[in-house]
Amino acid sequence: MKLITRDTDYAIRALCFIARRQKGLTSVSELVSVLGIPRPFLRKLLQTLNKKRLVKSYKGKGGGFRMARLPRKIIIADLMRIFQGPLKISEHVFKNSPCPERKVCKFKQKLDVIERYVVGELKRINLESIL
């Protein structure tokens, strides 16, 4: 029952570190030494975050990353979507092996209620709130 995958988790920690540094850049090397996350994996994550405009990257000597927006504007649900795809709890089951009574399936209805709550909560968590 995995809500958060490793890359999302790593991304959150990296962002926390970068965000705490009020000004200046943070390099991958620094993050690796502090967070102990495998370097190539971290690089990939940060490149993704850069493409998605959550951080801004600077190439070349002395380069690195800085936040591209306020921590308050970085929502956990968005990070999860980036690294894990759509925020759906129940879809896959009903996608691959559709319940014959899909439309009225009471179990699905109950899962949907849970899903709405979970997604709602995840949208309420921003980086600032966990710094």
Cα dihedral 66→17→13→43 (10° resolution): 50
- Residue 51 or 72 with smaller CB distance to DNA: 51
CA dihedral 67, 70, 44, 27 (to 10 degrees): 30
Q: Tell me the residue type at 6.
A: R
Distance CA 5, CA 73 (A): 21
- Contacted by 28, from a copy of itself, DNA, none: CB < 5 to 8 Å by type: DNA
Q: Taking CB under 7 A as the rule, does residue 23 contact DNA? A: no
**Hey, CA dihedral for 6, 9, 14, 17, is it positive or negative?**
negative
Minimum gap (Å) between residue 44 Cβ and a copy of itself: 16
- Among residues 29 and 129, whose Cβ is nearest to DNA? 29
Cβ–Cβ under 8 Å, residues 26 and 64: yes
Which residues of this protein are in contact with a copy of itself, per CB under 8 A? 1-6, 9-10, 12-13, 35-37, 76, 80, 84-85, 87-90, 92-93, 96-97, 99-100, 105-107, 110-111, 113-115, 117-118, 121-122, 125, 129-131
x/- letters, 90..119, toward DNA (CB under 7 A) = -------x----------------------
- H helix or E strand, kind and range, residue 68: none
C-alpha span between 37 and 33 (Å, rounded): 8
Comparison of 103 and 106: residue with beta carbon closer to a copy of itself: 106
Shortest Å, Cβ 81 to DNA: 12
Size of the chain, expressed as the number of residues it contains: 131
Residue of 34, 41, 117, 120 that binds DNA (CB under 7 A): 41
